Amino acid sequence: MSGTASGPRVGEWVVLYVVSVLAALVLSAILVQATGGQWRPVVNALLDGSIRNPGRIGETLGTAAPMLLVAIGTIISSKAGLINIGQEGQLFVGAAFATYFGFLIGGPGALNVVLILIFGAIGGALWAGVAAVLKYWRNVPEVLSTLLLVTVGGQLVAYGLSQSWLLLAPLADRGNRNQVSSQLAEGNRLPRLEISGNEIPFAVFLGIGLAIVVSLALSRTVWGFMLRMLGRNPRAAQRSGVAQTKYGATAIMLSGAFAGLAGAAMLAGGGFAFGNYQLVPGFSTNIGWTGLLVALVAREKALVAIPVAFVFAGLRTGSSFVGATGVEGRITDVIQGFLVLALLVPPAVMFLRDRKRARDAATERT
């Protein structure tokens, strides 16, 4: 374990990933075979669904974009030493904000789309802000409050969706369906770019752009410097003028803002993945949780989160094709679980080793 990140470390990472993904694939194959299926068609279906079939790359990218946005936000808060695990709720609340204000303001085209995104971010930030207030006013650990707020947020939005003065669409727009909002007007949706048969949603560019911005902000700005100091040694930060309340609350709210932005982008981006430009119960479809995993695997590096989000999205879009091979839905879920685990194991192994060795050796007790 030489101290630097380059050199043998890269090799170790590659080996770990190859081994654990292979293990997951072998386990999955055994599972498929054992339950009377065929593994080869399953693999084909995974690849077809994620990248091979026409248009699927665009679909995967579109799925990856909100995951990436969530992950970027998570990276901001974890750099400040805070554990926000409520992205699923912040995303949903953000989407609800976006829906409500999008229709409230109405108006034409591009400007309204931007406003929808902004309100999504505000919604997510406010929801995460509740956790910040609880933490800095009442000492409630954010890891608890953010998690609990997922449930509360879900209930609140569900209530909103049942009230026509809030989110529920007028009867004429929703037919006999309950708990749906109106559809965003054609002109209020995020544009898509067509590249060789793939429709690439605008959110993809937004996500990549923001990943670059955040990566720079964290590593190059004084603000990022202070945030990192707070995360790594709060007492040194306190002495140096990084007020925990101010910087910590900002970090939590920013991470909520990114989740809310993801929600708004899903709403205005629509597509196969995220439905019909309207808010429905269960709208967040685990994108918040998955984004959290993306951040975990990317190990606090916003730029690394870009490919990681694509891989996670590919698992999701690919799995949707596996059902067609006759393999039971529950088996597909298990396979997806294996593969997600395979992506999480190497960082966990390295983390444990880093702590035990390099850090133990040199840090906590030189």
Partner 1 sequence: MSSPGSLGHSGQDHGGTGSVEPVPAVAFNNITKTFGAVTACDGVDLSVHRGRIHGVLGENGAGKSTLMKMLIGLVLPDSGSIAIDGTTQHIQSPLAAASLGIGMVHQHFSLVDALTVWENVALGEAGKLDPDAVRNRIGDIADQYGLMIDPDAQVGSLSAGLRQRVEIIKCLRRDPNIVIFDEPTSVLTPDESVQLFESLRHVVAAEGRAVVLVSHKLDEVLHATDDITIMRQGKVVDRLEAATADAPTLARGMVGREVSLRSERAALGVLDVSADPSDSAAKPSNPNDSAPVLRIQNATARGIGGVALLDDLSIELRAGEIVGVAGVEGNGQRELGDLLSSLLSLQSGTVSIDGVQVPDGKSGAMARAGIGVIPEDRHDSGIVLDMSLAENLVLVDQSAVARRGFIDGSALRDFAEKMIDEFAIQCSGPDAPMWSLSGGNQQRVVLARELSQQPKVLVAAQPTRGLDVGAIEYMGQRLEAAAEAGVAVLLISSELEEILDLAHRIVVMNSGRIVGEVDRADANLESLGLMMGGANA
Ligand X SMILES: Nc1ncnc2c1ncn2[C@@H]1O[C@H](COP(=O)(O)OP(=O)(O)OP(=O)(O)O)[C@@H](O)[C@H]1O
Nearest residue (CB) to partner 1, 40 versus 357: 357
Which of ligand X, partner 1, none does residue 221 bind (CB under 5 to 8 Å by kind)?
Answer: partner 1
Phi-psi category of residue 139: left, alpha or beta, with phi > 0 → left and psi -120 to 50 → alpha: left
Nearest residue (CB) to ligand X, 352 versus 358: 358
Instruction: Tell me the CA distances in angstroms from 96 to 157, 262, 267, one per residue in order.
Output: 7, 12, 9
> Counting beta carbons within 10 angstroms of the beta carbon of residue 4, is it exposed (0 to 12), middle (13 to 18) or buried (19 or more)?
exposed
Nearest residue (CB) to ligand X, 3 versus 175: 3
Shortest distance in whole angstroms from residue 3 CB to ligand X: 3
Cα–Cα distance for residue pair 177/228, rounded to 1 Å: 48
- For the chain, the residue count is 366
Decide: is 299 part of the binding site for partner 1 (CB under 8 A): no
Which of ligand X, partner 1, none does residue 356 bind (CB under 5 to 8 Å by kind)?
Answer: partner 1
Decide: is 3 part of the binding site for partner 1 (CB under 8 A): yes
Helical segments of 139-176, H only: 142-162, 171-174
Grouping H, G, I as helix, E, B as strand and the rest as coil, residue 42 is helix
Which of ligand X, partner 1, none does residue 242 bind (CB under 5 to 8 Å by kind)?
Answer: partner 1
Nearest residue (CB) to ligand X, 330 versus 365: 365
For residue 317, give every residue at least 6 positions away whose Cβ sits within 8 Å of its Cβ, in sequence order, or none: 49, 50, 56, 59, 60, 63, 273
Which of the residues 335 through 364 are near partner 1 (CB under 8 A)? 356-364
Nearest residue (CB) to ligand X, 11 versus 241: 11
Cα–Cα distance for residue pair 304/74, rounded to 1 Å: 13
Decide: is 139 part of the binding site for partner 1 (CB under 8 A): no
Shortest distance in whole angstroms from residue 72 CB to partner 1: 19
Cα–Cα distance for residue pair 325/191, rounded to 1 Å: 33
Question: What backbone phi and psi angles, to 5 degrees, belong to 5?
Answer: -80, -20
Nearest residue (CB) to partner 1, 24 versus 82: 82
Which residues bind to ligand X, rule: CB under 6 A? 3, 358, 361-362, 366
For residue 153, give every residue at least 6 positions away whose Cβ sits within 8 Å of its Cβ, in sequence order, or none: 86, 89, 90, 92, 93, 127
Among 53, 183, 233, 286, binds partner 1 (CB under 8 A): 233
Which of partner 1, ligand X, none does residue 177 bind (CB under 5 to 8 Å by kind)?
Answer: none
- State the residues that interact with partner 1 by CB under 8 A: 2-4, 7, 220-223, 225, 228-229, 232-233, 235-244, 356-366
